[in-house]
Structure 1
Amino acid sequence: MKEKFEFQNVVAETLLIPLYMRAKESKRKSQDIIISDPLAESLVNNIDYDYSKFDNAWMSALGCVIRGRLFDQKVQEFILKEEHPITVNIGCGLDTRYQRIKERKNCIFYEIDLPEVIAIRKHFIPEPKNDFYIEGSILENNWMDKLKEKHPDSHFIFTMEGVMMYFYEKQVIDILKNLANRFPGGEIYFDVCGPMMVKTKLKPDSLRKNEAQIRSGISNGKIVEKWVPQLEITGQWLYQNYAKKRWGVSGYIFRMFPKFTCKFSSILGYKIKK
């Protein structure tokens, strides 16, 4: 029997978007499948929600699974190269990266989100071994200090999917500064909307029936290095450079004008200098 939840926070409700998109992608019986996520399929089948509002959001559908696969890849690479790796999923929602990563080695995982989200997560995905849940806000520092104290000799990789665009620019800067000041030698990956989305109040196609607002945008990842000198950019990726055939003509056009495309969305990666 499906279970229904009433979300108290409109941003928290957006966790169902990437979950649904991963489940849809996982059901594809095609060679061009981007991500396989049987657990996401099971979760969607057990949560009572009107997912049909996302069915026409084809750009978000592609974007969510491309981003998920890229972050999976970066986390897997980090785990394999570090002696004592720690991966922290900020704004985890019902993400299933722990289950998707094939080689966890001796990595410890942490999932951080608002209390109402962690409660739902615990209900549907009880804490696995070496994957720990934390109730907290990205704007708070206490959980950062506790993790640093608990793992003083480890390097950390932080992923934030569908998170940063809901915060104002000053908040984004503070978040990155707080991480960079505490976790030298680590890595940070997050997706952003571009300033054009903020200026025009245009939303991703999956958010057009949601009250959540896009509050910040970054088009050139180099600006973050000026905000937070401890950060060194390692990549700025266009979604349209992946699964090219599935983007069709629109993807071809976006790839021709990367600077313009970044005015709308991109994915950023940084190393935290030691």
Structure 2
Amino acid sequence: MSGEKVALRGAKETLLITLCAKAGESRLPDSLLKDRFAADAVGRIDYDFVRLGIDRDMMIGVALRAHVIDGWTRDFIARHPEATVLHLGCGLDARVFRLEPPAGVRWFDVDYPDVIALRQRLYPARENCTLLGSSVIEPGWIEAVPRDRPAFVIAEGLLPYLPEEEVVILLERVMDHVPGGELAFDAYSHLGLSLIAWQPSVHSTGAVLHWALDDPRELMRKLPRLELVQELTGYGADGFDPRQVARMSLPARAAIQIFGWIPALSQMARLLRFRF
């Protein structure tokens, strides 16, 4: 195989899980995401994606999460056409290309320098999209972000890999920097976090997960400026689009239904949208 060689380990390597899942779902005839950039990127990377063990159910689940956050981002941009979009821990997600934001939006993709360098080799440059090569927990990168625009902040697949104190510091720093906006991210209960750590694709990377959230009010007590706008639980009655769940295998659909009957299981995974 020829292509871009990738030598990522630990939490960084998990970005290949989400990339591969989005690419795989986008190749399905009934694709929700239709992410041709992800599919093209996987084809150009020299990496054994088979070792991650990503099946159709996981592809659909990852695509569904991304699709929900895409929708929230579109909604914010529609209400704030001169907004900042701040994509923290962007990895190789092609969201800016999927959404094609209008020219008035300033978009920032933030991730480690080697991840940003890989993005630059795989994806074309885009006007009004700035790539910032830095760990998100370092304070300096945020000075490049405008202070005078409302911001939509995305932290998909990021916060569970940070220690709790770093999650609070990061979110507080962002909220202090911009005049207001919204925040979207995925979170997992302690039970959910322990199960994810042993999920074969994550376990194969050696990534360590730290931050769990059993109740959104826990975070709101630490960051009182946050106001919960929307909460989707992966397995509860308020969960994801049943039309997409119907695309999954029979065992996956049965598990989701059973989990929905048990509170501890129905609330293992959440997608959260806050206003600040």
How does the TM-score come out when normalised to structure 1? Answer: 0.89
2:85 equivalent in structure 1: 87
1:13 equivalent in structure 2: 13
Q: How does 1:33-72 map to 2 (within 5 A)?
A: 33-72=31-70
Classify the secondary structure of the residue corresponding to 2:185. strand
2:125 equivalent in structure 1: 127
2:272 aligned residue (265, 268, 271): 268
CA distance in 2, matches of 1:76, 1:181: 23
Classify the secondary structure of the residue corresponding to 1:43. helix
Classify the secondary structure of the residue corresponding to 1:39. helix
**Contact 1:219 1:265 (8 Å CA) reproduced:** no
Classify the secondary structure of the residue corresponding to 1:153. coil
Q: RMSD across aligned C-alpha pairs, in angstroms?
A: 2.1
2:259 aligned residue (221, 237, 254): 254
The answer as to 2:166 corresponding to 1:165 is no
Deviation at 1:132, TM superposition (A): 1.1
- Greater displacement, 204-213 / 75-84: 204-213
Q: How does 1:86-165 map to 2 (within 5 A)?
A: 86-147=84-145, 151-165=146-160
Deviation at 1:56, TM superposition (A): 4.5
Distance verdict in 2 for CA 1:237–1:115, change over 3 Å: same
Deviations 1:38-76 (A, max 9, x none): 111111111111111233455542331111101111111
Deviation at 1:92, TM superposition (A): 0.9
Distance verdict in 2 for CA 1:103–1:83, change over 3 Å: closer
**Tell me, which stretches of 5 or more residues in structure 1 are unaligned?**
none
**Contact 2:196 2:202 (8 Å CA) reproduced:** no
CA distance in 2, matches of 1:202, 1:6: 22
Classify the secondary structure of the residue corresponding to 2:179. coil
Distance verdict in 2 for CA 1:126–1:144, change over 3 Å: same
CA distance in 1, matches of 2:27, 2:156: 22
Deviations 1:116-161 (A, max 9, x none): 10111111113211111011111122222331xxx23211111111
Letter in 1 for 2:87: N
Identity %: 23
The answer as to 2:222 corresponding to 1:218 is no
Classify the secondary structure of the residue corresponding to 1:98. helix
Deviation at 1:202, TM superposition (A): 4.0
How does the TM-score come out when normalised to structure 2? Answer: 0.88
CA distance in 2, matches of 1:169, 1:163: 12
Classify the secondary structure of the residue corresponding to 2:33. coil
Distance verdict in 2 for CA 1:84–1:238, change over 3 Å: same
Deviation at 1:107, TM superposition (A): 1.1
Q: How many residues align?
A: 266
Classify the secondary structure of the residue corresponding to 2:204. coil
